[in-house]
């Protein structure tokens, strides 16, 4: 079997999550992902974070979670504050300027009569002696981490100018023995929960744009079948169960359609189908294998993998079909296209000198950059703000996850104590 065929049918491991804070996933918690950070952004913003008043009332320390989020991003230098400060504490901006802080974060926690906590936060610009942001969130005890992540998101957005993704979730599958465990976790690796257990593999998982559904291929029927599963109700819909291989589902940006790869007519080709399984349309009719479709950010084009030129390369075509144009030219083996949320950057895995590594391509300029220094990379997935890419790789002969910033400067390694981790997917922003 050719490398492209192996790639098109390979077993990968992943799943998706349901809505944040109200997940229908209830299962025993497993070992947390351990996150190691290396490298920093080219410009780090010094931020002073004071301990929130009375945060000892909450199950988790709010300020610790906020600090960890900002440090993990690689773009902030944290200045610890020895004293507790609330959102009403008078601020001597000159004092904080002299300490080297460009921004100051303060806040407090109050217990409400209904058992929830009122978490209040304020972000100040010490250079301009002004308040940048602030809000109050009433949160159940179980959502303390989510509230802290949302505060970190706000700080990131106000100081960096890009929406933060700390309150999003990631998904992956840990394989231990013969069991596949579909697991979801916070973006920081905490709060791991098991969504599904299976003795049969899953391939090609894909999030719906609203994060409530996942499309995937299951081998439970002893053949590859494409399903869409609602993660809140757990209802499943068969999207493609045709003769041969049914694989590689990918959602359109509006969630109304999926692109899939089918071998029903012989060689694997690209099709689109409505999200309920109706309206199947064939897009490609090449003499090669066409697979791994991905919609462009505007939904008007589809990127896909094809060996029509003799080796696996990435192509783009109209969502309505027609002529396909080759996109990747550097290297003889480029697979697994993924498009950034803004549509400007293509991420993919390229094999060069025997190494499988993560690359990005600026679609406007044609500038290519290698982002990883590992050698067995697969399955890239952009963060919803487009600033980071998570991918699977190997560490000590075991599957692990890694995260790298799109400029290549900030790197994270995510591991668990036992098991293989494969095929990560980074969930969308939740409303």
Could you tell me where in the chain the CATH 3.40.50.10070 domains are found? Answer: 44-160
Listed residue (8, 1, 2) closest to 293, CA to CA: 8
> Tokens at residue 84, please?
């507790």
pLDDT of residue 41: 66
pLDDT tens for 376-419 read: 999 999 999 999 999 999 877 888 899 999 999 999 888 776 67
pLDDT exceeds 50 at position 366: yes
pLDDT of residue 349: 98
> Higher pLDDT residue, 70 or 18?
70
pLDDT exceeds 90 at position 305: yes
- The CATH number given to 44-160 is 3.40.50.10070
Could you tell me where in the chain the CATH 2.120.10.30 domains are found? Answer: 3-20+169-426
* Three-point CA angle 66, 341, 195, nearest 5°: 65
Confidence of residue 15 (pLDDT cuts 50, 70, 90): very low
pLDDT of residue 177: 87
Confidence of residue 31 (pLDDT cuts 50, 70, 90): low
Length of the chain: 431
> Higher pLDDT residue, 4 or 237?
237
pLDDT tens for 156-208 read: 999 999 999 999 988 887 888 888 877 878 898 888 877 778 888 877 778 89
Long-range own/partner contacts, residues 392-400 (CB < 8 A, 24 or more apart):
392/12, 392/172, 392/421, 392/422, 392/423, 392/424, 399/13, 399/175
pLDDT tens for 115-133 read: 999 999 999 999 999 999 9
Please state which CATH class domain 3-20+169-426 belongs to. Answer: mainly beta
* Three-point CA angle 148, 149, 150, nearest 5°: 90
* Three-point CA angle 63, 16, 306, nearest 5°: 125
pLDDT tens for 100-116 read: 999 999 999 999 999 99
Dist CA 413 CA 22 (whole Å): 28
pLDDT of residue 32: 63
Confidence of residue 50 (pLDDT cuts 50, 70, 90): very high
Q: Distance between terminal CA atoms of the chain? A: 44
Pairing of strands 202-207, 213-218: antiparallel
pLDDT exceeds 80 at position 30: no
pLDDT exceeds 90 at position 149: yes
Dist CA 43 CA 40 (whole Å): 8
Radius of gyration of the chain (CA): 23
User: By percentage, how much of the chain surpasses pLDDT 90?
Assistant: 69
> Higher pLDDT residue, 33 or 150?
150
Q: What average pLDDT is seen over the chain?
A: 88
Pairing of strands 45-51, 76-84: parallel
pLDDT of residue 45: 95
Q: Mark 265-278 as b/e (b = at least 16 C-beta within 10 Å).
A: eebbbbbbbebebe
Pairing of strands 388-395, 420-426: unpaired
Listed residue (319, 340, 324) closest to 273, CA to CA: 319
Which whole number is the average pLDDT over 300-315? 96
Beta-carbon neighbour count of residue 397 at 10 Å?
A: 7
Contacts of 244 (CB under 8 A, 6+ apart): 262, 263, 264
Residue whose structure tokens are 């999030």: 207
CB 127 within 8 A of CB 97: yes
Read off φ and ψ for residue 191, nearest 5 degrees.
Answer: 65, 35
Does residue 148 sit in helix, strand or coil? helix
Tell me which DSSP letter residue 209 carries. T
pLDDT exceeds 50 at position 326: yes
Measured N-to-C along each axis, helices 62-73 and 144-160 cross at an angle, to the nearest 10 degrees, of 40
121 by Cβ neighbours in 10 Å (0-12 / 13-18 / 19+) ranks as buried
CA distances for 377 relative to 227, 234, 370, angstroms = 26, 31, 12
pLDDT of residue 360: 98
Which whole number is the average pLDDT over 295-311? 96
Contacts of 189 (CB under 8 A, 6+ apart): 32, 33, 34, 35, 170, 414
Read off φ and ψ for residue 68, nearest 5 degrees.
Answer: -60, -40
In the chain, what's the furthest Cα-to-Cα distance? 73
pLDDT tens for 249-291 read: 999 999 999 999 999 999 999 999 999 999 999 999 999 999 9
């Amino acid at each position: 079997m050719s490398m492209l065929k192996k790639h098109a049918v390979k077993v990968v491991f992943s799943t998706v999550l349901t809505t944040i804070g109200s997940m229908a996933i209830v299962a025993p918690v497993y070992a947390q992902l351990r996150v190691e950070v290396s490298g920093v952004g080219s410009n780090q913003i010094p931020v002073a974070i004071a301990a929130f008043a009375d945060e000892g009332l909450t199950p988790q320390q709010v300020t610790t979670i906020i600090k960890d989020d900002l440090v993990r991003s690689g773009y902030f230098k944290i200045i610890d504050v020895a004293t507790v400060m609330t959102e009403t504490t008078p601020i001597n901006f000159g004092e904080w300027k002299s300490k080297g802080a460009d921004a100051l974060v303060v806040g407090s926690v109050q217990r409400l009569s209904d058992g929830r906590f009122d978490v209040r936060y304020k972000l100040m610009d010490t250079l301009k002696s002004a308040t940048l942001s602030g809000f109050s969130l009433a949160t159940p005890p179980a959502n303390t981490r989510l509230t802290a992540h949302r505060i970190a998101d706000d700080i990131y957005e106000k100081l960096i100018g890009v929406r933060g993704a700390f309150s999003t979730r990631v998904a992956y599958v840990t394989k231990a023995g013969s069991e596949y465990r579909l697991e979801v976790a916070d973006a920081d690796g905490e709060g791991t929960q098991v969504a599904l257990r299976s003795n049969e593999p899953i391939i090609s998982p894909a999030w719906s744009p609203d994060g409530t559904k996942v499309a995937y291929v299951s081998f439970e029927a002893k053949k590859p079948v494409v399903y869409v599963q609602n993660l809140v109700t757990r209802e499943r819909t068969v999207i493609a169960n045709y003769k041969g291989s049914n694989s590689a589902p990918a959602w359109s940006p509006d969630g109304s359609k999926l692109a899939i790869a089918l071998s029903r007519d012989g060689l694997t080709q690209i099709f689109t189908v409505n999200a309920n399984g109706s309206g199947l349309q064939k897009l490609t009719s090449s003499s090669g294998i066409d697979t791994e479709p991905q919609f462009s950010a505007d939904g008007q084009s589809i990127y896909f993998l094809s060996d029509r030129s003799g080796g696996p390369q990435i192509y783009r075509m109209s969502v309505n079909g027609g002529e396909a144009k080759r996109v990747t030219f550097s290297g003889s083996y480029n697979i697994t296209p993924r498009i950034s949320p803004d549509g400007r950057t293509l991420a993919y895995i390229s094999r060069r000198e025997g190494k499988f590594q993560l690359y990005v391509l600026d679609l406007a300029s044609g500038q290519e950059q290698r982002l990883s220094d590992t050698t067995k990379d697969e399955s890239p997935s952009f963060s919803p703000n487009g600033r980071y890419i998570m991918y699977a790789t190997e560490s000590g002969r075991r599957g692990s996850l890694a995260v790298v910033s799109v400029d290549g400067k900030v790197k994270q390694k995510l591991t668990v104590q036992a098991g293989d981790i494969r095929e990560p997917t980074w969930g969308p922003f939740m409303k």
